[in-house]
Structure 1
Amino acid sequence: MSDWAKDLWFSPMTMFFRSSPRFAPRNRPLVWVLGTLALALVAALALLGPARLWAQVEGDRGIVPVASTSDIQISDIEVNSTGADAAEARAKGWDEAARLAWKKAGGPAMADGVIQSMVSAIVVQREQIGPRRYIATLGVVFDRSRAGQYLGGTNGGRKHSSPLLVIPVLHSGGVAQVYEVQGPWQLAWAHFRAGNSPIDYVRPVGAGGDSLVITAGQPGRRSRAWWRNVLDQFGAAGVLIPEARLERQWPGGPVRGTFTARFGPDNAYIDSFTLTAKDEAGLPKMLAEAVIRLDQIYAQALAEGKLKVDTSLNVTGQIDPGIAALIAAGQAPEQTAVPTARPSSAPNDGASASPTPTPTPIQAETRTFTVQFASPDATAVDSALGAVRSAPGVKGASTTSLAMGGTSVMRVTYEGDLDTLAASLRARGWKVSVGANALSIKR
C-alpha cells in the first residue's frame, strides 16, 4: 500500500491513537493492523448485506414428509438387469423388482401384467446405471385397494394412537440437533411411510419457525404449559422422542448408532438398540432400518397400554367433581324437615301437603376474556395460568402469546362477567386492572 493510501485510510485512526499517550508513533504498525481489521469488517458487511445477519429461520432446513397413505411398501429389493441400452435395462430392473416384491409380500402367483397393474410407485433406494446394465436397490409400493385382498387386507380393527408429535433428536459429533439443518435423521423420518402404522405420527416439516419452537432442548423441559403450547401448534395430543446417537470409529470407517425410543413430556424411556453401518454410504440404510424398528417399539408399547397420553397436559379450569360436591354441600343452607301431616290440634280439611318446588339454578353466560400478565420466566407463566384456572367459574385458560421477559397474553373462558373474574383474582393476591373485555394482572 502506497503512502498516500495509508494516509487516506488511516489518518483518522492515526490521529485518534496519537492523541492517546498509550499509543506513541513507534506503535504505528498496530494502528495499521486495527485499521485493516475495521476495513475488512466494513467490506464484509457490504458484501454479505445486513439481511444475512438475521438468518434465524432462513436456509434449506425443511424436509417435507412423504404422503402418509395406507399403501403397502416392500423395501430392499435388489435387482441386476441388462438391456440394449440404459433405459431398457432400467425398465427390466423395475419389472423384476415388482415380481420379487410381490413374492416377498407373500402374494399368490400371478402374471406380470396383473402385478404391474397393482404397483403405484417405485422407490429408488440406490441405483447404478451403465450403458447396458442396471444395478439397484428398490422399494415397491402396491396400491392397497387392489392388492389388499391378496396380501391380507387392511389393518382391520388394530388399535390406533392419538396424534403424537415426533421430535427426532440426533446426537452427532458432540452436537444435538433437530431441525437446525437438514439432518439424516430427520430425512429418515420424513421418508418413512407411516400409513400402515398404528401410530398417528405428526411430523413437522422443520422449515421456518419449526426450528425455533422444536429444539433438542425441548425434551428436557418439564413445564406442562410450554408443552401444551407446542403441541397445540401442531394439533398433537402427545409427543414421541426418537433419539439417534452416532459414533464414527474413524473418518470413512464404521458408524455405530444407538437408538432410543422415548415418550411423553417427561422424556420417559421405553427401549433402545444399536446398529452399525460399514461406512458413510451405508448410513441412510441404517437410519431407515432404525426408524422401522422404532415404529415397532412404539406399536408394541401402544398395544401394552404404555403409550397413554399424559393427562397433566390437558389441564383445564374444571374443578374435580368430588371437590365441587363438597363445596356445594358446604354452601347449601341447612334444610329443615318438612312435616308430612298437619298437627293433631289443627282441623283436617282433607287436603294433602304439596311438595316444595326446587328452584332451578340460573346458569351464568359463558364469555371469553383476554388476560395480560408479566412473564419473566417459565415459572411465572405456570403461576399465572394456575391462578387463573383455579378461579371459580373459569372453564379454561390457555396462552395465545408468549413473550419471555415481557408481557404474555392468555385467553380465558369464564362463566360470569369481567368484574366478577377481576374480584376473584384480587382475592388470590393479584393486582388487577380492568379494561375493555380484558384484564391486566400482576403480583
Structure 2
Amino acid sequence: MAKPRWRAPLIALGVVLAGAGGWYAIAQLAPGDRGVAPIDSSSNYEVTGVQVDVAGKSADEARTAAWRLAQRKGWKVLWGRMHGLGPDAAPGVPDSTLDSIVAGIEVEQEQVGPHRYIATLGILFDRARTGEMIGSTSGTPHSAPMLVIPVEYDGAGPVTFEQRTSWQKAWARYRTGQSPIDYVRPYGNGPDPLLLNIGQSRRPGRLWWRSLLDQYGASDIVTPEVYLQRRFPGGPIAARFVARHGPDGEVLGTFSLVAPNSAGLDKMLDQGVKQVDDLYIQALNAGSLKPDPSLTIEEPDTPTDDLLPTTADDPLASVISGIDQNNATIQLDTADVAALDAAQSALKSVPGVQSASVQSLALGGTSLLSLSYNGDLAALKVGLQARGWRLEGDGATLTMKRGGQASPPAATPAAPPSAQPKP
C-alpha cells in the first residue's frame, strides 16, 4: 500500500456519477504543469478486461444493464482467481449484494449507441467487504516501503520527475493495492524534481539516501527504467524495461515490448508496469528484495548503569557513567553534505552519544539534528571541544560550530623595570 510523502494539494478530481445504486466511474486526474498523483493507492481488488455488449430501450438503460452484467462477470472472475478455480465455479450473488461490494467501475473502452452499449470495463471490489465473502489472503508476504523513481530514456536523455513522462503516468495509473510490494509513489511536484533526479538514482552514497527515505517514509528504493526507441515517425515503438533495486541499482530482470504506434504507447507501458511489478514480486518471494542494511540507522539500546562501557584512555567515560539519557536539537550550518557528515561523525565519536540523526536538512543553510546522549551537557561540550567543535547554548536547543579548542589568551608582557638612577 503506497504511502506518499511530500503531500501536495491534489489537483482537481472529477468523479462521474452514473445513476442510482452507487454507480460511478473512478476519479480522473486533471492535467497539471508538473507531477502526476497516483490515481488509486487503495487495497481494492481489481478485475480488468470485462467485455459487455447489451441492448436496451435507451442508451442509459443499455449502459445500466451492461454495468450490472459486468459486475456479475467480475465477481465470478475474482472468486475463481482467489480459489484457483474457473469462473463457472463461483457461487451466484444477488445484484443488491454486488452493489454493496463494488467500489467502482473503470471504463477502459466503450461504444455508446441509441439502443446499444459495447464496452470493456474494469471492476473494483472493496477489499474489506469482499474479503468476508471470498476468504482471507493475509498470509501473503509484503515488502518494506519502496520509494519508486521511474526513469524514462526517450531520445534526448534520462528523465525522472523533471517533467511529466509517459512512464511516470503509467506508474500513477497502476493500482498497487493488489501487489505485495509497498510502493511509495511521489507525485513529482514540489521538491521531487530536485531531490529525485537521475543523478540521485545513480548516487552510491548512503547518507543522502537515508535523509530522502526518511522524508518520504520509505525503507528502500526501486528504480524501474524504460528505454524507448521510435523506429520511424508514426511507426512502432520498441521498449526495453529494466527493474532495478536498491541504492546501487541492482538489476533484478529485463524484458522488451513493442507498441504498434504512438496510440498504443500507454497500453504497452501499462503492461510494462505490470511485468516490472511481477519481477519485484518474484524477488520478494525469493528473499532478495530486502532493504540494504546500510540504509538503516539502528538505534542501540540504552545501557544500564552497571553495563555502561568505560574507556581507560577517555576521562569522559567515567563522567558520563550513571547519568540518565537526554535529548536535544542541534542547529548546524551545512554548506554541503560533507559538512553534515563531519558533524555527525564528531557527535557519534563522543562517549555517551547514542544517536545523531537528521531532523531537517537544508544544504546551504541551517540543518537540524536530533541528538540523544547519556551524560550532562557540560561533558558533551568538553567532548566536542576536544574534537574541534564547540557547542553553544543551554537547554534543549543548541548550536554546533567549527573551532573547538579555544586559543589560550596571550600572556601579558611584564612591565619593564623602572629606570633606577645609577649610583
2:63 to 84, 87, 90: 90
Determine if the alignment matches structure 1 residue 162 to structure 2 residue 120: no
Mapping of residues 184-199 of structure 1, within 5 Å: 184-199=166-181
**Contact 1:185 1:287 (C-alpha < 8 Å) held by counterparts:** yes
1:362 to 307, 322, 336: 322
Q: Which residue of 2 aligns with 1:438?
A: 398
Cα deviation, residue 320, structure 1: 12
1:284 to 266, 269, 293: 266
Determine if the alignment matches structure 1 residue 63 to structure 2 residue 45: no
Can you list the C-alpha shifts for 1:101-136, whole angstroms capped at 9, x where unaligned?
Answer: 334332415266267434321112233334444333
Structure having the higher helix fraction is: 1
Change (3 A) 1:221 1:328: same
Q: Which residue of 2 aligns with 1:127?
A: 110
2:377 to 401, 407, 418: 418
**Contact 1:223 1:378 (C-alpha < 8 Å) held by counterparts:** no
Cα deviation, residue 405, structure 1: 4.3
Q: Which residue of 2 aligns with 1:29?
A: none
Deviates more, 1:103-112 or 1:188-197: 103-112
Cα deviation, residue 306, structure 1: 0.8
Deviates more, 1:366-375 or 1:260-269: 366-375
Amino acid of the residue matched to residue 109 of structure 2? R
**Structure with greater Cα Rg:** 1
CA distance in structure 1 between the partners assigned to 2:325 and 2:360 by the alignment: 26
Greater relative contact order, per chain length (Cα 8 Å cut-off, separation 6+): 2
Change (3 A) 1:160 1:316: closer
Q: Which residue of 2 aligns with 1:356?
A: none
Q: Which residue of 2 aligns with 1:138?
A: 121
Q: Which residue of 1 aligns with 2:420?
A: none
Q: Which runs of 5+ in 2 are unaligned?
A: 1-30, 81-86, 315-320, 404-423
Amino acid of the residue matched to residue 67 of structure 2? W
Can you list the C-alpha shifts for 1:118-160, whole angstroms capped at 9, x where unaligned?
Answer: 4321112233334444333221112334444554x23221222
CA distance in structure 1 between the partners assigned to 2:55 and 2:234 by the alignment: 32
**Contact 1:77 1:97 (C-alpha < 8 Å) held by counterparts:** yes
Deviates more, 1:275-284 or 1:177-186: 177-186
Change (3 A) 1:135 1:253: farther
Amino acid of the residue matched to residue 438 of structure 1? L
Runs of 4 or more off by more than 4 Å in structure 1? 316-321, 329-332
Determine if the alignment matches structure 1 residue 387 to structure 2 residue 360: no
SS of 1:188's equivalent in the other structure is helix
SS of 2:244's equivalent in the other structure is strand
Cα deviation, residue 434, structure 1: 2.1
Amino acid of the residue matched to residue 392 of structure 1? P
Cα deviation, residue 61, structure 1: 1.9
Can you list the C-alpha shifts for 1:50-84, whole angstroms capped at 9, x where unaligned?
Answer: xxxxxxxx953232223433322111223344444
CA distance in structure 1 between the partners assigned to 2:393 and 2:291 by the alignment: 38
Can you list the C-alpha shifts for 1:296-327, whole angstroms capped at 9, x where unaligned?
Answer: 22122112111111121223575999xxx896
CA distance in structure 2 between the partners assigned to 1:438 and 1:316 by the alignment: 24
Amino acid of the residue matched to residue 323 of structure 2? Q
CA distance in structure 1 between the partners assigned to 2:137 and 2:312 by the alignment: 53
Change (3 A) 1:111 1:426: closer
Change (3 A) 1:97 1:306: same
Change (3 A) 1:413 1:365: closer
Change (3 A) 1:253 1:87: farther
Alpha-carbon RMSD: 3.2
Q: Which residue of 1 aligns with 2:7?
A: none
**Contact 1:70 1:196 (C-alpha < 8 Å) held by counterparts:** yes
SS of 1:295's equivalent in the other structure is helix
Amino acid of the residue matched to residue 124 of structure 2? V
Change (3 A) 1:290 1:236: same
Cα deviation, residue 230, structure 1: 1.0
Cα deviation, residue 170, structure 1: 1.9
Amino acid of the residue matched to residue 392 of structure 2? V
**Contact 2:323 2:375 (C-alpha < 8 Å) held by counterparts:** no
TM-score scaled to structure 1, two decimals?
A: 0.71
Can you list the C-alpha shifts for 1:218-238, whole angstroms capped at 9, x where unaligned?
Answer: 211122221111111121111
SS of 2:198's equivalent in the other structure is coil
TM-score scaled to structure 2, two decimals?
A: 0.74
Amino acid of the residue matched to residue 240 of structure 2? T
Amino acid of the residue matched to residue 324 of structure 2? A
Q: Which residue of 2 aligns with 1:259?
A: 241
Determine if the alignment matches structure 1 residue 179 to structure 2 residue 139: no
Change (3 A) 1:59 1:198: closer
